[in-house]
Amino acid sequence: MKNEKLIFGVMSGTSLDGIDVVLIKIGNKNIKLIDFAHKPYSNKLANALLLIQKPIHNDLELSIELGLLHAQTTASMINTMLKKLNIYPKKVCCIGYHGQTIRHQPSKKFSVQIGNAHMLAEKTNIAVVADFRNRDIVAGGQGAPLVPSFHQKVFSSRTKNRVIINVGGISNLTYLKIGDKLIGFDCGPGNLLLDYWVQKNKNKNYDDKGKWASTGNIIPNLLIEFMKEPFFQKKPPKSTGRDLFNSCWLEKFDHKKESPEDVQRTLLELTAISIKLAIVRYCNEVDEIFICGGGSKNIFLKNRLEQLTTQKINNTEELGIPSQSVEAVAFGWLANERLNNIPNNSPEITGSSGKRILGITHPA
């Protein structure tokens, strides 16, 4: 059909689980998901990415090499999808390529996503839009979260005030109140501390469905100490990442004598309580809550969120976009806005001094 565009969206989030690729069709009125692929990072690559995120580790050349590897892997995922669907690259308008964040320091005026957009354009013969965050940051914003305006576009309702919770490595929420301004910000750690702790103690990448956490008990004093972290009290605009919530953050607390499953249960409670607090403080009159991101598969966490909010929480799949694809679709949409020269940041969310067009275009 005329006016319909094929676009790829690519996302690699703070959890360091891997690369998500979606192919979407954007029409005048709707966005349709055509295909989704996920490639987990090998343990070797995830460890290298983790290492380079540590503030003391500042290896410029390694970050460039990892960026090239990220682009090559992404290109091969995209080319495989094109072949499978029998689509020529020329038919695709662009790729919205987020890259892998290795530093996010808006107060120092930068956020670094590695991933080589030149290589991705070269290997796919498709234009690439990348580097979405830095223009917003130099305009005084957080450069994050960038997905709330997309949530508004695809998930808002005329009759219900909706909250969208995205539980990735970090958790963020969007409040879509009818007739009111858009609200969105990072709530705190989503999965990344849970992942770190289960990797350390059980040698598993994540706690499947939250089963291990469910065998533990909350350690009240530890939870109180966790919650003293100033980020939780900070008013939006606010964003965070591994720069703050990382292994050092967790290891500075006194939990050596506690059983590992109790620590896991307490970390899960931290994720749940920080989301609940964010809803209580900034989202009045909530009618419906939807969840997306890998954390939506943590059944124990989802149940706990339902208890704390006394609301049934549905998956964004019910609104037409599967929870694992939402962020990648969002970056496809943001790329399309960029190509249309439509300002695609939300100053009310990020705190930047005005509307800006985010994303750098690399021609096919």
Ligand X SMILES: Nc1ncnc2c1ncn2[C@@H]1O[C@H](COP(=O)(O)OP(=O)(O)O)[C@@H](O)[C@H]1O
Of 5-13, 96-104, 159-167, 218-226, which segment contacts Mg ion by CB under 5 A? 5-13
Cβ atoms of 34 and 322 closer than 8 Å: no
* Dist. CA 363–CA 347, nearest whole Å: 28
Structure tokens given for 92: 């695709």
Q: List contacts with ligand X (CB under 6 A).
A: 13-15, 17, 168-169, 191, 195, 206-210, 293-295, 297-298, 327
> CA angle 222-106-251, nearest 5°?
25
User: In angstroms, what is the minimal distance from the CB of 209 to ligand X?
Assistant: 5
Min CB(271)–ligand X separation in Å: 10
Q: Indicate the DSSP class of residue 48.
A: H
Contact (Cβ atoms closer than 8 angstroms) between residue 305 and residue 329: no
Give the nearer residue to ligand X in terms of CB position, either 195 or 288.
195
Complex with ligand X: residue 93 or 167, whichever CB lies closer? 167
Q: How far is the CB of 187 from ligand X (least distance, A)?
A: 13
Residue type, position 247, single letter: S
* Residue 41 CB, nearest approach to ligand X (Å): 10
Helix (H) or strand (E) holding 339: helix 326-339
Q: Shortest Cβ distance from residue 163 to Mg ion (Å)?
A: 21
What's the closest the beta carbon of residue 162 comes to ligand X, in angstroms?
19
| Residue nearer to Mg ion on the CB measure, 17 or 131 | 17
Q: Which is nearer to Mg ion, 17 or 243 (CB)?
A: 17
Q: Which is nearer to ligand X, 152 or 316 (CB)?
A: 316
**Cα angle 117, 145, 77; round to 5:** 35
Of the two residues 15 and 161, which places its CB atom closer to ligand X in the complex?
15
| 257 DSSP assignment | T
Q: Which of 17, 131, 288, 337 binds Mg ion (CB under 5 A)?
A: 17
Whether 188 and 241 have beta carbons less than 8 Å apart is answered as no
Collect contacts of 31-37 with beta carbons under 8 A, ≥24 apart.
Answer: 31/153, 31/154, 31/329, 31/333, 33/320, 33/321, 33/322, 33/325, 33/329, 34/6, 34/85, 35/81, 35/84, 35/85, 36/322, 36/324, 36/325, 36/328, 37/77, 37/80, 37/81
Residue pointed to by tokens 């006194």: 254
The C-alpha atoms of residue 155 and residue 184 are separated, in whole angstroms, by: 14
Task: Give the residue, chosen from 6, 9, 10, 13, that forms a contact with Mg ion under the rule CB under 5 A.
Answer: 13
Minimum Å gap between C-beta 85 and ligand X is: 23
Q: Does 327 bind Mg ion (CB under 5 A)?
A: no
Specify the residue, 175 or 212, whose C-beta has the smaller distance to ligand X. 212
For 187, which DSSP code?
Answer: E
Nearer to ligand X, 133 or 297 (CB): 297
Q: With contacts defined by CB under 5 A, how many residues of the chain interact with Mg ion? A: 2
Contact segment (CB under 5 A) with Mg ion among 9-17, 178-186, 247-255, 265-273 equals: 9-17
In whole angstroms, the minimum distance from the beta carbon of 62 to ligand X comes to 21
Partner from Mg ion, ligand X, none contacting 209, C-beta within 5 to 8 A by type = ligand X
Q: Which stretch binds Mg ion (CB under 5 A): 15-23, 52-60, 273-281, 340-348?
A: 15-23
Q: Which residues bind Mg ion (CB under 5 A)?
A: 13, 17
